[in-house]
């Protein structure tokens, strides 16, 4: 199998699997229990918190574990707006992950004023439109750090400056940037930041919210004192321990992965652009996650490409994993102004730690042929594009 869908999820690193297996066998205590096996579980959670905090460039006290990146996004947005009853405005972008976009829609349904700031054709937020959208009534601005579909990285320092000038807090969804580009949460200037374990070779079903000290925030899961009262519910100890291990080994891999994966992705990009006529690159040429490639294969339906690649054991995605089961054209591709027929022909390839030169060779052998074959049997007219 050639797995090129690392933005959807990453394989578990074997070191993480080992750590989780050992923990699972030996430690079943409830972290809230006061006898030794309970204390041990709590200790392991706090050790994981230390590793996650170090990897994201934050203090241990600012990290709260959640049940997913999605939950951390919900907690950040609903928790801040709930804590600031005098602020009835929320500002976000048009290219957010559904975890933010649908939470924004929920706020709208509850009577909040929500402004969706547009992006340009590279997927970069329009800072003038952001400036016009933020007012003293704005409680929170939520703009993602890097986009999951096209990889564009946002100018978060500018977003923070504009929001803070008006007294608004800032949340960023860093699920896709964490582990792929170097940053420190404390230095980004944001008040809240979301990360997720399964995008950094850790287990699924565990995420974390970074909360800068002093940020007003109310819990939205009620029923217990866990995570210092922010996230009720017995902790997913095994998941958290796995997340901690994935974060602990992240810096050990970071530089080597960065160099190697940039080389692999560049080779794939150059090879595809040379071998496949009429393809359109989506995203920012420079300010993007280097391991994400999004292309429109003009004249084709992306599902046909995806399924043909799957028969050869190659896994890619159409747009984002979350929109895989929906018939709708991706809102991100719409927001960057892509024609609907281009959007419907878009395939995303995203590389990760376990990809090899052989993987790229295989894709370069197979994909140009698939595209040529599909175009031959489809009614496409190259002159149209």
Ligand X SMILES: Cc1ncc(COP(=O)(O)O)c(C=O)c1O
Which residue's CB is nearer to ligand X, number 175 or number 316? 175
Shortest distance (Å) from residue 73 CB to ligand X? 6
Are 31 and 42 in contact, with CB atoms under 8 Å apart?
yes
Contacts of 327 (CB under 8 A, 6+ apart): none
- Assigned token pair, 124: 């970069």
Residue 69 binding ligand X, by CB under 6 A: yes
Please give the residue whose beta carbon sits closest to ligand X in the complex: 69
Report the candidate in 290, 231, 219, 233 with the shortest Cα–Cα distance to residue 257. 290
Binding mask 176-195 for ligand X (x = CB under 6 A): x-------------------
Nearest-angstrom CA–CA distance, 134 and 132: 6
Residue 173 binding ligand X, by CB under 6 A: yes
Nearest-angstrom CA–CA distance, 146 and 229: 30
Tell me the chain's radius of gyration from C-alpha atoms.
21
Among 207, 290, 299, 319, the residue binding ligand X under the rule CB under 6 A is 207
H/E run at residue 207: strand 207-211
Among 6, 62, 68, 74, the residue binding ligand X under the rule CB under 6 A is 68
Which residue's CB is nearer to ligand X, number 152 or number 196? 196
Contacts of 338 (CB under 8 A, 6+ apart): 280, 282, 296, 346
Shortest distance (Å) from residue 261 CB to ligand X? 18
Binding mask 300-329 for ligand X (x = CB under 6 A): ---------------------xx-------
Among 175, 316, 347, 363, the residue binding ligand X under the rule CB under 6 A is 175
Pure H helices in the chain = 14-26, 36-56, 69-83, 98-109, 127-133, 156-165, 185-188, 237-275, 302-311, 331-335, 340-343, 357-377
Catalytic one of 17, 83, 275, 322: 322
Residue 6 binding ligand X, by CB under 6 A: no
How many residues of this chain bind ligand X (CB under 6 A)? 16
Residue 103 binding ligand X, by CB under 6 A: no
Among 20, 144, 264, 332, the residue binding ligand X under the rule CB under 6 A is 144
Question: Annotated catalytic, 322?
Answer: yes
Contacts of 184 (CB under 8 A, 6+ apart): 56, 57, 58
Which of 81-89, 171-179, 209-217, 279-287 is the region at the interface with ligand X (rule: CB under 6 A)?
Answer: 171-179
Shortest distance (Å) from residue 135 CB to ligand X? 26
Which residue's CB is nearer to ligand X, number 73 or number 191? 73
Pairing of strands 113-117, 138-142: unpaired
Among 2, 4, 77, 99, the residue binding ligand X under the rule CB under 6 A is 99
| 336 Rama class: left (phi>0) / alpha (psi -120 to 50) / beta | alpha
Pairing of strands 292-297, 346-350: antiparallel
Residue 236: how many CA atoms within 13 Å on its side-chain side? 18
Q: Phi, psi at residue 171, to the nearest 5°? A: -115, 140
Which residue's CB is nearer to ligand X, number 62 or number 70? 70
Shortest distance (Å) from residue 306 CB to ligand X? 17
Which of 66-74, 260-268, 338-346, 373-381 is the region at the interface with ligand X (rule: CB under 6 A)?
Answer: 66-74
Which residue's CB is nearer to ligand X, number 70 or number 115? 70
The catalytic residue positions are: 322
What is the binding site for ligand X (CB under 6 A)?
68-70, 73, 97, 99, 144, 148, 173, 175-176, 196, 198, 207, 321-322
């Amino acid at each position: 199998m050639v797995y090129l869908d690392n933005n959807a999820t990453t394989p578990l690193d074997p070191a993480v699997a080992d750590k989780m297996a050992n923990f699972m066998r030996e430690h079943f205590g409830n972290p809230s229990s006061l006898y030794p096996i309970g204390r041990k579980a709590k200790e392991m959670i706090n050790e994981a918190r230390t590793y996650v905090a170090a990897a994201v460039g934050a203090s241990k006290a600012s990290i709260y574990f959640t049940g997913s990146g999605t939950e951390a996004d919900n907690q950040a947005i609903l928790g801040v707006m709930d804590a600031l009853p005098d602020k009835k405005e929320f500002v976000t972008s048009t290219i957010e992950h559904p975890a933010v976009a649908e939470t924004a829609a929920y706020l709208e349904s509850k009577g909040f004023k929500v402004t969706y700031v547009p992006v340009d054709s590279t997927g970069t937020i329009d800072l003038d439109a952001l400036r016009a959208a933020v007012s003293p009534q704005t409680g929170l601005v939520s703009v993602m750090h890097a986009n999951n579909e096209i990889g564009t990285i946002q100018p978060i320092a500018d977003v923070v400056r504009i929001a803070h000038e008006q007294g608004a807090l800032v949340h960023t969804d860093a699920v896709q940037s964490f582990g792929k580009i170097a940053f420190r949460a404390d230095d980004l200037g944001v008040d809240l930041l979301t990360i997720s374990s399964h995008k950094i070779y850790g287990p699924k079903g565990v995420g974390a919210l970074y909360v800068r000290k002093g940020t007003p925030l109310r819990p939205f899961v009620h029923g217990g004192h866990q995570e210092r009262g922010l996230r009720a519910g017995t902790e997913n100890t095994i998941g958290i321990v796995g997340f901690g291990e994935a974060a602990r080994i992240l810096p050990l891999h970071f530089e080597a992965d960065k160099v190697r994966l940039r080389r692999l992705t560049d080779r794939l990009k150059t090879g595809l652009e040379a071998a496949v006529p009429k393809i359109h690159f989506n995203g920012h040429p420079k300010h993007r996650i280097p391991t994400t490639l999004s292309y429109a294969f003009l004249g084709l339906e992306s599902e046909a490409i995806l399924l043909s690649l799957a028969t050869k054991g190659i896994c890619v995605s159409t747009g984002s994993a979350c929109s895989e089961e929906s018939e709708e054209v991706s809102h991100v591709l719409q927001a960057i102004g892509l024609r609907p027929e281009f959007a419907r022909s878009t395939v995303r390839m995203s590389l990760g730690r376990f990809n090899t030169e052989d993987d790229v060779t295989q894709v370069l052998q197979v994909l140009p042929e698939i595209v040529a074959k599909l175009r031959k049997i489809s009614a496409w007219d190259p002159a149209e594009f």
